[in-house]
Amino acid sequence: MKFNIAVVPGDGIGPEVTSAAIEVLETIAKKYGHEFVFKTYIAGGGAIDKFGDPLPKETLEGCINSDSVMLGAVGGPKWDNLPGKMRAENALLGLRKGLELFTNLRPAVIQPALKNASVLRADIAEKGCDIMIVRELTGGIYFGERGRSEDGNMAFDTEIYTVPEIERVARRAFEIARKRKSHVTSIDKANILESSRLWRDTVHRLGEAEYPDVKLDDLLVDNASMQIIRDPSFFDVIVTSNMFGDILSDESAQVTGSIGLLASASLGESQRGMYEPIHGTAPDIAGKDLANPLAAILSAAMMLRYSFDLTEEADEIDKAVSDVLLDGWRTADIKDPDATTWLKGSEMKQKVLEKLL
Ligand code: IPM
Ligand code: MN
């Protein structure tokens, strides 16, 4: 099969980890007789420097016209003090909105080989953690009205959700849960926020009407953030708003040991998705061949799974990654605290490629 993949390497460690993921995809393509055509686009800080625009029109259009988008990471200290619209992060928000990617999947899994890397007490980590966070991605306070008064003494942001927005992401969560342990936990702040009360009512109405076979419960976000570290094995699928999902996914990442291992998929109604590691640009280690490429590689596997329906190929990449870890190979971010040697990013990529040959 032939697929056109738009690649947006971005800033910091983005280019190094995406090129590792591309090599993995090329290896898989050769093995299974597929053709992946990669076209690179500029976005983020690099695009601000070159075009004065974090998301040039050609980039957005190129992504819209692709079969899927692979993104590295955007942003960095150099662009942190620019005014709102010129921020590198707007590239990300513009792509999410422009491609109508309302669902963000962030799996937080403790790799069996890495139980020691979890920050949790051994007896808690031992019980395992396999959470799929389903984060709403094109609504809520990220996109609600915001502003500042003329005298600069007042500012506001608005959390806003409609029933259809809640339903479409909740539907995704229920569908995914059916393929897992059939348990959805909806997370909100319904004791305070009206938008959360609408969220909770809507998720329940949908669950009762269309997914009675899926167990549904609710947690308030403050309590949920505690439960994720107290007993992550409680969770199967979490569905939550844009802002709460942003925060809880970083927390879950740390529970698994390293943000360097976490992949993500952003999906809309169409087959086309956007796939990115959630670790960000890590400017302090950029260009030093220290970045762990596994999150980007696992994101590429998600692309095969969710956008191209290439399940066997995706499984093979996932397995190659966990086998390399089981063999004991580590990058700096996941090494034992007293280890004296570890792999560079390119060496880790090589280990994965060897498993795929
Ligand atoms: C993420 C990031 C982004 C977000 C930022 C960079 C805009 O933190 O993908 O989680 O808040 O969504
Ligand atoms: Mn985040």
Among 71, 82, 92, name the best residue to mutate to test ligand 1's pocket (greatest count of ligand atoms within 8 A of Cβ). Answer: 92
How many residues does the structure list for the chain?
A: 357
- Predicted local confidence at residue 111, as pLDDT: 84
- The Cα 243–Cα 139 span in angstroms is 9
- Nearest to residue 75, comparing CAs of 11, 8, 9? 11
- Predicted local confidence at residue 107, as pLDDT: 95
- Residue 89 Cβ inside 6 Å of ligand 1? The answer reads yes
Contact assessment for residue 159 and residue 141, using Cβ atoms and an 8 Å cutoff? yes
- The Cα 238–Cα 130 span in angstroms is 11
Among 246, 264, 266, 299, name the best residue to mutate to test ligand 1's pocket (greatest count of ligand atoms within 8 A of Cβ). Answer: 246
Contact assessment for residue 251 and residue 225, using Cβ atoms and an 8 Å cutoff? yes
Q: Which domains does the chain have, with CATH numbers?
A: 1-103+270-357 (3.40.718.10), 119-256 (3.40.718.10)
- Predicted local confidence at residue 8, as pLDDT: 98
Which parts of the chain sit beneath pLDDT 70? none
**Strand locations in the chain, DSSP E?**
2-10, 35-40, 68-73, 103-109, 130-136, 146-148, 155-157, 183-188, 215-220, 237-240, 263-267, 273-277
Asked if 222 is an active-site residue, the reply is yes
Contact assessment for residue 131 and residue 235, using Cβ atoms and an 8 Å cutoff? yes
Asked if 250 is an active-site residue, the reply is yes
- Residue 276 Cβ inside 6 Å of ligand 1? The answer reads no
Residue position matching structure tokens 């795929």: 356
Contact assessment for residue 237 and residue 184, using Cβ atoms and an 8 Å cutoff? yes
- Predicted local confidence at residue 178, as pLDDT: 97
Task: Locate the ligand 1 atom nearest the alpha carbon of residue 264 and give its number.
Answer: 9
Q: What angle do CA 318, 324, 325 make, to 5 degrees?
A: 90
- Predicted local confidence at residue 13, as pLDDT: 98
Active-site residue (options: 11, 41, 97, 142): 142
Name the token pair of 299. 């994101």
| 177-220 residue pLDDT tens | 999 999 999 999 999 999 999 999 999 999 999 999 999 999 99
- Predicted local confidence at residue 85, as pLDDT: 79
- The Cα 123–Cα 116 span in angstroms is 11
Q: Compute the Cα dihedral for 301, 22, 249, 175 and give only its sign.
A: negative
Task: Locate the ligand 1 atom nearest the alpha carbon of residue 276 and give its number.
Answer: 9
Distance from the first to the final alpha carbon of the chain:
20
Asked if 201 is an active-site residue, the reply is no
- Predicted local confidence at residue 184, as pLDDT: 98
- The Cα 60–Cα 62 span in angstroms is 5
Which residues are registered as beta bridge partners of 105? 134, 265
- Residue 92 Cβ inside 6 Å of ligand 1? The answer reads yes
- Predicted local confidence at residue 247, as pLDDT: 96
